[in-house]
Amino acid sequence: MTFTFGIYPGGSLGDETGLIEPVRPDDPARIAAVLRELQGNAPEFLVRAYRSYGDDVHRTPERPERYATDGRKLDLVLQFGVRSGSLDGWTDYVRQVVRAEGSRLAVVQICEEPNLDLPTLDGSIPNVHRALVEGVIAAKEEALACGYDRLAVGFNAVPSFDPADTFWPELGELADERFHGALDYVGLDFFPDVFRPVPDGQLADAVRAVVTGFRNDALPRAGIGPAVPLRICENGWPTGPGRSEERQAEVVEQVIRTVAELADRLALRSYSFFALRDADSAGRGLFHHFGLLRDDYTPKPAFDVYRNLISELSVS
């Protein structure tokens, strides 16, 4: 089985209040060089990119197609983002993107974290369940019509620790045969020991518990069975005040090795790191420091760790 790695290479990111822009603009030439270095001899590598359809149209990184060469393809997120919840034009937009970009796409993700109610995410928007279901169906139909048979269509979500959470059963009520037939994967965004501290020595167990629970507890509530592959779409660990670069390197290695151990049993197909570069290496906020590189593109120790893991684990 081929296990594929990837990364989000842009400088922009969102926190719980809005969009954070990098203190230094993206440098496409340096990004391309670093992506080549990370990929090494791996036959495939995913470049994660985001586009918003809705009210606050945003794309990051700019022109991601320039990075989709030499075995690299896009893992493209189509965020819904329509604050009113209106579906007018949504599936037409999804189809248009698939037609135009399909040759550069390996993965298309419909909606962004539709089960997380934060202002920058689709989980805060009414009608998101229907946007997700109709978007997945439209993307798959268009991919097949255009001959992009290998394009994986799916959606992502975050872990939920609330037993009263209704996202999955509500999705299951809308998920008909067309949706299940179109669904190629479900993605998991998770950040162990970032927003919820993990006690010393328990990180690997925490990773196993979250990923296994997502597979065995969350997805069945929407009628999604074990044959549907999983992808780790966003995972990272920021540096910054009280969070050393050396510890980031340790966390990266431990998390990825644990994910790789689960790959066969849980049908895990890929892992993408968030993110390539800090937004602001001198910033005080948690979200400023998620990069494998500092904001000036100099590497932290975790960069070499990730590069070596890609080389070792891309094919198992």
Give how far Cα 233 sits from Cα of 130, 188, 191, 196, 275, Å. Answer: 22, 6, 11, 19, 11
For residue 80, give both structure tokens.
């819904």
Give how far Cα 16 sits from Cα of 48, 85, 153, 215, Å. Answer: 21, 20, 27, 26
Give how far Cα 45 sits from Cα of 69, 75, 187, 310, Å. Answer: 10, 9, 16, 9
* Residue ranges making up the domain that contains 183: 4-313
| Number of CB atoms found within 10 A of residue 299's CB | 17
What's the CA gap between 30 and 10, in Å, rounded? 12
Query: How many domains does the chain contain in total?
Result: 1
Q: Which CATH number does the domain housing residue 230 bear?
A: 3.20.20.80
The tens-digit pLDDT sequence of the chain (316 residues) is 679 999 999 989 888 777 889 999 999 999 999 999 999 999 999 999 999 999 777 889 999 999 999 999 999 999 999 999 999 999 999 999 999 999 999 999 999 999 999 988 999 999 999 999 999 999 999 999 999 999 999 999 999 999 889 999 999 999 999 999 999 999 999 999 999 999 999 999 999 999 999 999 999 999 999 999 999 999 999 999 999 999 999 999 999 999 999 999 999 999 999 999 999 999 999 999 999 999 999 999 999 999 999 999 996 4
Residue among 95, 78, 73 nearest 6 (CA): 73
What's the CA gap between 15 and 152, in Å, rounded? 28
Per-residue pLDDT tens for 149-160? 999 999 999 999
Judge contact between 91 and 43, C-beta under 8 A: no
Judge contact between 223 and 180, C-beta under 8 A: yes
